[in-house]
Amino acid sequence: MVITDKCIKCGKCVENCPVAAISLCKGDKQAHIDKSICIECGYCKSICPVNAIEDK
Ligand code: SF4
Ligand code: SF4
Protein backbone atom coordinates (compact mmCIF):
# COMPACT_ATOMS: atom_id res chain seq x y z
CA MET A 1 0.00 0.00 0.00
CA VAL A 2 1.13 3.50 -0.80
CA ILE A 3 -0.37 6.84 0.23
CA THR A 4 -0.39 9.40 -2.56
CA ASP A 5 -0.43 13.19 -2.45
CA LYS A 6 -4.23 13.13 -2.59
CA CYS A 7 -4.13 12.57 1.19
CA ILE A 8 -5.95 15.31 3.11
CA LYS A 9 -4.50 14.19 6.48
CA CYS A 10 -7.87 13.26 7.97
CA GLY A 11 -6.22 10.67 10.20
CA LYS A 12 -8.81 7.95 9.60
CA CYS A 13 -6.33 5.41 8.30
CA VAL A 14 -3.89 6.16 11.11
CA GLU A 15 -6.57 5.41 13.72
CA ASN A 16 -7.89 2.29 12.04
CA CYS A 17 -4.85 0.37 10.80
CA PRO A 18 -4.93 -2.93 12.77
CA VAL A 19 -1.15 -3.05 13.12
CA ALA A 20 -0.53 0.71 13.55
CA ALA A 21 1.60 0.89 10.42
CA ILE A 22 0.49 4.39 9.44
CA SER A 23 1.88 7.56 10.90
CA LEU A 24 0.99 11.20 10.48
CA CYS A 25 3.19 13.71 12.23
CA LYS A 26 2.71 17.43 12.59
CA GLY A 27 4.22 19.08 9.56
CA ASP A 28 3.88 16.01 7.33
CA LYS A 29 2.32 16.64 3.92
CA GLN A 30 0.55 13.27 4.04
CA ALA A 31 0.26 10.09 6.07
CA HIS A 32 2.95 7.43 5.62
CA ILE A 33 2.80 3.65 5.69
CA ASP A 34 5.70 1.77 7.25
CA LYS A 35 6.06 -1.09 4.79
CA SER A 36 7.96 -3.21 7.29
CA ILE A 37 4.88 -3.24 9.55
CA CYS A 38 1.99 -3.20 7.02
CA ILE A 39 0.32 -6.60 6.48
CA GLU A 40 -1.40 -5.45 3.25
CA CYS A 41 -4.89 -6.02 4.66
CA GLY A 42 -6.33 -3.26 2.46
CA TYR A 43 -8.48 -1.73 5.19
CA CYS A 44 -6.92 1.73 4.98
CA LYS A 45 -7.56 1.79 1.26
CA SER A 46 -11.22 0.90 1.77
CA ILE A 47 -11.87 3.67 4.33
CA CYS A 48 -9.88 6.59 2.92
CA PRO A 49 -12.46 9.30 2.04
CA VAL A 50 -10.45 10.64 -0.90
CA ASN A 51 -9.06 7.35 -2.28
CA ALA A 52 -5.51 8.45 -1.57
CA ILE A 53 -4.26 4.93 -0.85
CA GLU A 54 -3.22 2.70 -3.72
CA ASP A 55 -2.11 -0.90 -4.11
CA LYS A 56 1.53 -0.81 -5.08
S1 SF4 B 1 -3.05 -2.22 4.35
FE2 SF4 B 1 -3.79 -2.73 6.43
S3 SF4 B 1 -1.93 -3.08 7.61
FE4 SF4 B 1 -1.31 -1.98 5.77
S5 SF4 B 1 -1.36 0.17 6.36
FE6 SF4 B 1 -3.36 -0.31 5.46
S7 SF4 B 1 -4.68 -0.83 7.23
FE8 SF4 B 1 -2.53 -0.94 7.91
S1 SF4 C 1 -7.58 8.12 5.35
FE2 SF4 C 1 -6.79 8.92 3.38
S3 SF4 C 1 -6.94 11.17 3.54
FE4 SF4 C 1 -7.13 10.31 5.61
S5 SF4 C 1 -5.03 10.41 6.45
FE6 SF4 C 1 -5.35 8.35 5.55
S7 SF4 C 1 -4.60 8.52 3.43
FE8 SF4 C 1 -4.88 10.59 4.20
Domain coordinates in residue numbering, the chain: 1-56
Confidence at residue 56, expressed as pLDDT on a 0 to 100 scale: 81
- For the domain covering 1-56, report its CATH number: 3.30.70.20
16 C-beta neighbours (distance < 10 Å), count: 14
pTM, to two decimals: 0.93
Look over the chain and give the mean of its residue pLDDT values, rounded to a whole number: 96
* Ligand 1 mutation target, pool 37, 43, 51, 53, most atoms within 8 A of CB: 43
Burial of 38: CB neighbours in 10 Å, binned 0-12, 13-18, 19+: middle
Average pLDDT over residues 34-47: 98
Return the pLDDT at 47.
98
State the Cα–Cα distance between residues 41 and 26, nearest whole angstrom: 26
Put residue 26 in one of left, alpha, beta given phi > 0 → left and psi -120 to 50 → alpha.
beta
Q: Which ligand is nearest to the CA of 53?
A: 2
| Section 32-52 average pLDDT | 98
pLDDT of residue 20: 98
